[in-house]
Structure 1
């Protein structure tokens, strides 16, 4: 995906979403791993990469919902692509600040908020930069929303082992549909 994006001059955007699922049985080991702090529900986390037009280029294997966004990217090995493709910039949200620290200039996150004692023009500049960054990243949010339009991904009620394959299939269908737009 990074090689394709570099060769074609495509700007990448990366983000994660959570798919709500049924609670695992009480006798099942690792049951707490699927309850993130954000939603307080049993979820699995999917990370996707989209292009500037909102097409899904790649999705990873789903992880337990409790896993942090940056940890999921590191576990999958996607962060190692930054070393092999030093010209590729990837737009990220605040959940990937650790990647920005590890790969400065390549992993682009929104600017940090200035402290209260900063001058008003610094705060105004921060607002403009943050708005511009979110405007550039909105296509990945739309790609995630397109996935969630499918009833199966609103709340997964089947076996947990089948969710990753179904998510990848739906992401592929959505990507093919948006490629013609």
Structure 2
């Protein structure tokens, strides 16, 4: 179960996760026990057969392959409800970890990412990506709210911010698929953070046009067309070269999104939409942790 092909993580990263998350889970579990009225003392009664390491592995396999809880219950020899409860407890703890950029540096908020990029004059790349979800039942309020204007499918949207080399630095909480990319960035306060924070260049696609003027040129989007009709040949060639140069610089964010979508939980989600923000942030944190560990190993060798 701890194979890289099963979890998407190396054994060293899994060991670090166990050491970091297990105390948090035990603290959370003890708090839930003491919060309610009890007839027996805390710790009395049957002990867990489903230990924390197995709970973590079940969560990692679920995020990596989208394995059903019934199958995981058969693998671990427990009831399906036990697996569902375990994943529901461990997944938020993974989502709270943030994205790892170095063994001692972790980014949890968009403000920390902007400060990290501006501190050393690094460039960042942003883009929005959609994750298909189940359609809401007929008669529910705002049933069409999750329909994407681009794909015409029910989806939720998250904003991904990567470094210039494609390493994932931040994934935002999800919003309904009808939300525009630039609207989501504004709701996250990106314009204000860039305008008030240290200077850093953020590459974006045409969906973010207009943010450059709001941030003093910090958000760089593809060049506008000055000639809509009867453009001279020299202008067409120059405009195409400029667009290709911009696309070549920001292609790394597409690679980062592809690595995220390799996790089946983000390819298409069949469960509750309420869990999508935790799933996105948990996957981005795990991916960045593995990327940082791989880079650290490469530098040592």
With the length of structure 2 as denominator, give the TM-score of the two structures.
0.58
Q: Distance in 1 between the 2:119 and 2:216 partners?
A: 22
Q: How does 1:156-175 map to 2 (within 5 A)?
A: 156-175=269-288
Q: How does 1:8-157 map to 2 (within 5 A)?
A: 8-85=120-197, 87-115=199-227, 116-157=229-270
SS in 1 for 2:282: helix
Q: Distance in 1 between the 2:185 and 2:206 partners?
A: 14
Which deviates further from its counterpart, 64-73 or 100-109? 100-109
Contact 2:192 2:215 in 1 (8 A): no
Q: Distance in 2 between the 1:99 and 1:86 partners?
A: 16
Q: Distance in 2 between the 1:118 and 1:48 partners?
A: 35
Contact 1:21 1:42 in 2 (8 A): yes
Q: Distance in 2 between the 1:65 and 1:169 partners?
A: 20
Q: Distance in 1 between the 2:198 and 2:217 partners?
A: 9
Q: Structure 2 regions of 5+ residues with no counterpart?
A: 1-112, 296-301
Structure number with the higher strand fraction is: 1
Q: Distance in 1 between the 2:117 and 2:198 partners?
A: 12
Give the drift of 1:44. Answer: 0.2
With the length of structure 1 as denominator, give the TM-score of the two structures.
0.94
Per-residue CA deviation, residues 141-179 of structure 1 (Å, 9 max, x unaligned), is 111111111111111001110111011111111222223
Match of 2:91 in 1: none
State the aligned residue count: 181
Q: Which has the higher contact order (CA 8 A, sep 6+)?
A: 1
Give the drift of 1:75. Answer: 1.0
Match of 2:289 in 1: 176
Instruction: Name segments (4+ residues, structure 1) moved above 6 Å.
Output: none
Which deviates further from its counterpart, 116-125 or 48-57? 116-125
